[in-house]
Amino acid sequence: MSADKKAKAKQAIQDAKAAVSEKLRGQVPILTLLRYRASSEWFAVVVGSVAAFCAGGSTPLFMYFFGRMTNSAYDDEAAPEVTRSFAMLMVCIGILSMVLVFIKTATYQVTATRLVGRIKCAYFSAVVNQDIGWHDKRKPGELISRLTGDTRVILNGVNDRFASWIENLGTGLIGIVFAFIASWELTLLIMGSLPLIAVAVYFLTAASSRHVAVTRKQYAVASAIAQEVMQNIKTVQSFNREMHEAERFSETIVGSRKAGIKKEFLVAMAGGSVMGIMLCVIGLAFILAAYLVHSGRTDVGSVSAAFLTVMYGAMGLGQVFPALISFVEARTAAYPIFATIDEQPTIDLHGPGREATFCRCIEVKDVTFAYPTRPDQLIFSGLSATIRKGEKVAFSGSTGCGKSTIISLIQRFYDPMEGAVTVDGQDLRDLDLRSWRKRIGIVSQEPNLFSGSVLDNVRMGRRSATLEEVVTACKQARIHDTILALPRGYDTSVGSLGSQLSGGQKQRLAIARAVVRGADILLLDEATSALDRKSEVEVQRAIDDLTEHSKMTVITIAHRMATISNMDCIYFLDGSRDGGSCIVECGTYDELIRMNGRFASMVMMQNPSTGNLRTVVHDTSFYLYPGALDKITGGSVSTEDSYSSNDSWDSNCNGFYEDDDRWSQYSHVDDVPFIHRTDWEERKTSVSMWRIMKMTKSRWWAIALGFLGSIITAIVFPCVSLMITQLINTLGTYRLSQDTTHMQRQIALYVILLILLGAVYFLGSVLTGFYGYVGEYLTCELRTILFQQILRQDQTFFDMPRRDPGALAALLSGDCESVHQLYGPTLGSRLRSVCAFAGGIAIGLTMEWKVALVCLATMPLFVGSIIAQQVFFADSQSVRESGIDTVVSEALGSIRTVTSFNMQDRMIKEYKRTINVAEQTAERRAVLVSILAGATEITLMGSMALSFWYGGTLIERGETHFSNVLVAAMAVTMGSTLAGAEAGSFATKLRDARLSSNRVFSVIDRVPAVDSYEYGKVNFQEQIGVEFHHVGFTYPAREGVKVLNDVSLKFQAGSSNGLMGQTGCGKSTIVQILARFYPISTGKVLINGEDLSSLDLVTWRDQLSIVLQEPSLFSGTIRDNIKYSLPDATEEEVIEAAKIACIHDDIMNMEKGYDTEVGYRGQQLSGGQKQRVAIARGVLRCPKLLLLDEATSALDNITEVRVQRNLDEFQRRFGVTTVAIAHRLATIRHSNQIVLLDSGKIIEQGTHEQLLAQDGEYKSRWELAHT
């Protein structure tokens, strides 16, 4: 990566940290976080909190009575009866705990699921209801990251983890209360440690919170980068920029990794410090206990009760911190979410206003306007226009003069800085916005469709439309016959963002969507720019018929003058350098022609038959100093690694996993039905732990330290139980022997050991932080590798279900984070459970093997219930919200369409429906989890009760003493408890990690059919000739539909070639095949006689440039976007490329010139400006093959002529082979060869003159275009 790129990446990280320090460091108040709970849920939470607190107190209660009974337990005659009393007490407390834990778990699980569901809906609702100016300043990827990742953090903070916090708090507080009752002196001494613990917790929590905020903010930036790159994947691949984007993504997540590592160590230190301090203080307190017993101020029963209750209270308080961290993280993650929820839109869709009517006219009165993201650059200054009801009005002018901005102002996407837009004399700001937009139908220059069927997309215009009305609208848009030819007709999926349709098909479907709305006003922003002339005329006639019969008001923006020749009024705009655009001419078509002004010049430019004005068009954009173009060719072309892709379509196919044998008959992915290929690939992928281990081998030392920490912390607990019971035994035997010297020696020994255990535990806890260190590195590496492999994939991959940008972003975010649990922390958890279990058993067998074996025999029930509880808990938390990632991604990525059609409520309703389905499943599982949680309590107490009952029998037989029974039972129980908890957590994480690893590695291991990793021939001649030899092609997602059918044609080296034909005839497919986005089905494509499939893909793509019909720009400056094709280009080369594309003057009129930010996907530029930036990007690398897919469709006539003349000169001077797709025949009339396609076949080809002489379809289209 170049130095300037690294500097920018580092600056981005610093900016993220600065933003965190200013804003995200805050946390939402607790009541704010919980404000979406219903009244009934508050009652349930109160009941659950009381149950949790009481459940936490059950253990100290038992320990209190247990300690009191030890006064008699050391008397061999009374011991059997005492131990049996212990057993009965345990059974009673176990039953009570079972009920309380069930209530606690059920109430918190259910209410947390509902609460987070409402927060998600509220945030999604707030985002989609924000005004367009708000969205202009934000990237959809960051918003999606908040909605998916941050809400998961909130759920972890308010579910039964919070109830566990209350339970542990109850254990601690009630334990302290009983300890005071038993021995206030001892308890007061132990309480002296609480300020130390509080200080440690406070500072470590605050520091952890800051790092959590940095982590989340930084990954939100990375997620936005990934989303944008995947949405523009064709541009990325065609310019071989995959490694650049992967490095940019990786550089961004490094900041997230560093903050995550710091957080992991802080959490480990916090847990270790709490437990370490408590153990040290308990050790010191036993010295006081010995003194009190020796002086007769207390007895061993009180000491036992005090220490046992304080010990378990300390364990409870020690577990408070991890649960508290989850809650702190939840409050931190909720801060930006609730800030958005509470933010009032500048233009409020639900604000007060009068019902909108439209009876007379729309007036634009003295409007001055600049976009919120560029407030210093005026678009209009004093603009005025009148649009009467029933009129057909057009706005025309040069590219970038503000035509589309008028459409935005009429929809009230923005408010004017000065002046007003009025409807029937009423300021648009005083009208109810929703009722106003209901009266508007719009077809945008770049139409946005949504995942779903054709029928669903047309009904986006009006949800209540019947099938008959939809069909009628499609017929009027001339798309009905095309739909019927699709595999499933109106039920055919259009793919993510309409990726399965051609540009023209998408535009006609968007027209049908606007028509079915039945609106009073129809806004057409270059609505037919992607249509061939014949289809354009047909659609235009349909629109004319529709408006004539319905008296609909039509506002049109068009560069093709023929489409606005019958308008009632045409406004011609012209921009000035310092004062914004203004209307310079207005009138009917004939009136403007008679004026012989700018409009007339543009008309004559487009239609030479009206008079040839080409010679008088003053073109200063193509002035090049001598040798300038030669300099452009001298730039070095990057030959970075390359891969392949496309946009995708979503299909909610979840039945695959329900029938494991259904697809076992298939041995290769190509044999699997297309809609199930994603499931098949995931099922066929199996990831071993060894494979994950190899990814961390360079950090084996950190894993080893983590293992050591696991062993230490695991062994400490059984040792602590041994130390404390031995201390109690020492005091108990002293009551009988009165041997002060022996007592003092024993007390000193065990106290020293206990203090050492505290220090060792702190060290071990800190060492376990290395798991987080390795985990963060592994997650970062996995995300980088996965992102690289996503960029490597061919277009077939992106056409598959759940392979749209939203779903892939979720894969990068959540699944990669889960995979590292397969190794490192999970192995540490397994090791810790084994050590704890083995340590407890060893101590128990040493002290009293019979009691230990009885206790051990019952432990499988206890451990099994814990594992089952954890597994079902994971299921309840990981219910897949089918299709939700796609819905959110498309809704926010197409927010202008959502806003135009008042689709906010519809999107929110669909989102809520998905959330509700997930909630219902999660709630049913929550009840089962609660039952298992209660079962865990009763099995634990039952196991201990049986052990003590049997121990009493052994004491009665004279085979052992109470002290041995106590040590054996407590050691095995504590070891099993810790092992069971760790095993349950391990089982859950292992299960989740395996599912996630299958999903992640199914992509990483996928080898695309068109693979840049395969080497090929790299020698290319100075010029490129292309030959299609009997080529057939079918899109994988549309099996059975031949897009190209036995096509054979040649593009001579250095020639200019034009492709034309009706929408959907296969023109763009030829371009995509040449760019190798897809492999062909049959035949061959030859490049200078060599099979295209045998050529090195990276080197081949270095020879070409492509300008797509819907140009893809990236967030960044204009300079960055032009240099995207040639990163090492000089400033002079960039400027000359911009001059070729006739965009240089426009750029210099902007306040920041080439440093102007283009916004997300270039939304801060007009359609024509975006196309010209894309053209400049394409010519900058001076390719040998230039592919132009409707590259000038959004340009006005004068600008188009200038750009086309510059491109023609560029092509002739450097012998570039050009393949241009165009619906405007004048654009390709001078081509060396023109190819006319129909239904995937070539029907005519030749030069312009030859085709006219044939008197065939081409001539008919030419005459139609010039009628």
- Reported as a single tens digit per residue, the pLDDT across 404-423 is 888 889 988 899 988 999 99
Same domain, 94 and 221: yes
Task: Express each pLDDT in 808-834 by its tens digit.
Answer: 887 887 777 777 655 555 566 667 767
Taken in order 1165, 1169, 1175, 1179, the sign of the CA dihedral is negative
CA distances in angstroms from 339 to 23, 213, 250, 346, listed in the order given: 10, 14, 29, 15
Same domain, 85 and 136: yes
Torsion from C-alpha of 212, 218, 222, 224, nearest 10 degrees: 100
Model pLDDT, residue 1135:
93
Pairing between β-strand 580-587 and β-strand 1104-1107 as defined by DSSP bridges: unpaired
- Is 870 domain-assigned? yes
Q: How confident is the model at residue 264 (pLDDT cuts 50, 70, 90)?
A: confident
- Is 490 domain-assigned? no
CA 1245 – CA 1261 distance, rounded (Å): 14
DSSP letters along 260-275, please? HHHHHHHHHHHHHHHH
Which residues pair with residue 1084 across a beta bridge?
1029
With tokens 């226009």, the residue in question is 385
Q: How confident is the model at residue 1219 (pLDDT cuts 50, 70, 90)?
A: very high
Same domain, 1053 and 999: no
Q: How confident is the model at residue 625 (pLDDT cuts 50, 70, 90)?
A: very low
Structural domain total, the chain? 2
Contacts of 838 (CB under 8 A, 6+ apart): 975
| Portion of the chain with pLDDT greater than 90, in percent | 9
Instruction: Judge whether residue 1011 has pLDDT over 80.
Output: yes
**Cβ neighbourhood burial of 405 (10 Å; 0-12, 13-18, 19+):** buried
The mean pLDDT value for 698-713 works out to 84
Model pLDDT, residue 1032:
92
Instruction: Judge whether residue 1134 has pLDDT over 90.
Output: yes
- Is 410 domain-assigned? no
The mean pLDDT value for 741-764 works out to 86
- Is 1078 domain-assigned? yes
CA 514 – CA 535 distance, rounded (Å): 17
Residue numbers of the domain that contains 1201 = 1026-1095+1103-1265
| Portion of the chain with pLDDT greater than 70, in percent | 83
Instruction: Judge whether residue 617 has pLDDT over 60.
Output: no
Same domain, 39 and 152: yes
* CA-closest candidate to residue 1120, choices 1147, 1158, 1150, 1175: 1158
Instruction: Judge whether residue 656 has pLDDT over 70.
Output: no
The mean pLDDT value for 278-294 works out to 82
How many CB atoms sit inside 10 A of residue 198's CB?
A: 11
Q: Which of 430-439, 863-872, 1193-1202 has the lowest mean pLDDT?
A: 863-872
* Element spanning 365, H or E: strand 361-369
Burial per residue of 1113-1148, b for 16 or more beta-carbon CB atoms within 10 angstroms, e otherwise: bbbbbbbbbbbbbbbebeeebbbbbbbbbbbbebbe
CATH code of the domain containing 1107: 3.40.50.300
Contacts of 434 (CB under 8 A, 6+ apart): 349, 350, 902
Same domain, 998 and 1034: no
Helix orientation angle between 740-792 and 962-1004, rounded to the nearest 10 degrees: 10
Helix orientation angle between 300-342 and 242-294, rounded to the nearest 10 degrees: 150
- Is 1255 domain-assigned? yes
Q: How confident is the model at residue 634 (pLDDT cuts 50, 70, 90)?
A: very low
Same domain, 974 and 1034: no
Instruction: Judge whether residue 167 has pLDDT over 80.
Output: yes
CA 974 – CA 982 distance, rounded (Å): 12
Model pLDDT, residue 637:
33
CA 830 – CA 818 distance, rounded (Å): 17
Which residues pair with residue 572 across a beta bridge?
396, 585
Instruction: Judge whether residue 532 has pLDDT over 70.
Output: no
Model pLDDT, residue 626:
33
When the pLDDT of each residue in the chain is averaged and rounded to a whole number, the result is: 79
Phi, psi of 665 (to 5 degrees): -70, -15
Query: Residue 62 in contact with residue 919, Cβ under 8 Å?
Result: no
Same domain, 1060 and 968: no
Q: Which of 171-175, 546-550, 654-658 has the lowest mean pLDDT?
A: 654-658
Contacts of 1125 (CB under 8 A, 6+ apart): 239, 1105, 1177, 1178, 1180, 1181
CA 668 – CA 674 distance, rounded (Å): 12
Model pLDDT, residue 531:
64
DSSP letters along 552-582, please? -EEEEE-S-GGGGTT-SEEEEEEEETTTEEE
Model pLDDT, residue 75:
65
For residue 688, the 8-state DSSP code is -
CATH code of the domain containing 74: 1.20.1560.10
Query: Which amino acid type is present at position 440?
Result: I
Pairing between β-strand 1185-1189 and β-strand 1026-1033 as defined by DSSP bridges: unpaired
Q: How confident is the model at residue 1234 (pLDDT cuts 50, 70, 90)?
A: very high
- Is 1147 domain-assigned? yes
Instruction: Judge whether residue 67 has pLDDT over 60.
Output: yes
Model pLDDT, residue 1074:
93
Q: How confident is the model at residue 620 (pLDDT cuts 50, 70, 90)?
A: very low
Contacts of 426 (CB under 8 A, 6+ apart): 354
**Last residue in a domain, options 943, 973, 1004:** 1004
Tokens standing for residue 755 = 């203090």
- Segment of 378-382, 801-805, 826-830 carrying the highest mean pLDDT: 378-382
Cα angle: 687, vertex 692, 695; to 5 degrees? 140
Instruction: Judge whether residue 5 has pLDDT over 70.
Output: no
**Last residue in a domain, options 947, 969, 1004:** 1004
Instruction: Judge whether residue 881 has pLDDT over 70.
Output: no
Query: Residue 564 in contact with residue 528, Cβ under 8 Å?
Result: no
- Is 981 domain-assigned? yes
Helix orientation angle between 79-128 and 904-957, rounded to the nearest 10 degrees: 170
Same domain, 983 and 1035: no
Model pLDDT, residue 836:
72
Model pLDDT, residue 373:
79
Same domain, 951 and 1087: no
CA 821 – CA 319 distance, rounded (Å): 21
Q: How confident is the model at residue 991 (pLDDT cuts 50, 70, 90)?
A: low
Task: Express each pLDDT in 733-746 by its tens digit.
Answer: 776 677 788 788 88
Instruction: Judge whether residue 246 has pLDDT over 50.
Output: yes
Same domain, 790 and 851: yes
Instruction: Judge whether residue 35 has pLDDT over 80.
Output: yes
The mean pLDDT value for 763-782 works out to 85
Phi, psi of 163 (to 5 degrees): -65, -35
- Is 611 domain-assigned? no
* CA-closest candidate to residue 508, choices 485, 481, 487, 486: 481
Same domain, 961 and 869: yes
More confident residue, 1254 or 1109: 1254
Same domain, 802 and 911: yes
Q: Which of 224-228, 666-670, 912-916 has the lowest mean pLDDT?
A: 666-670
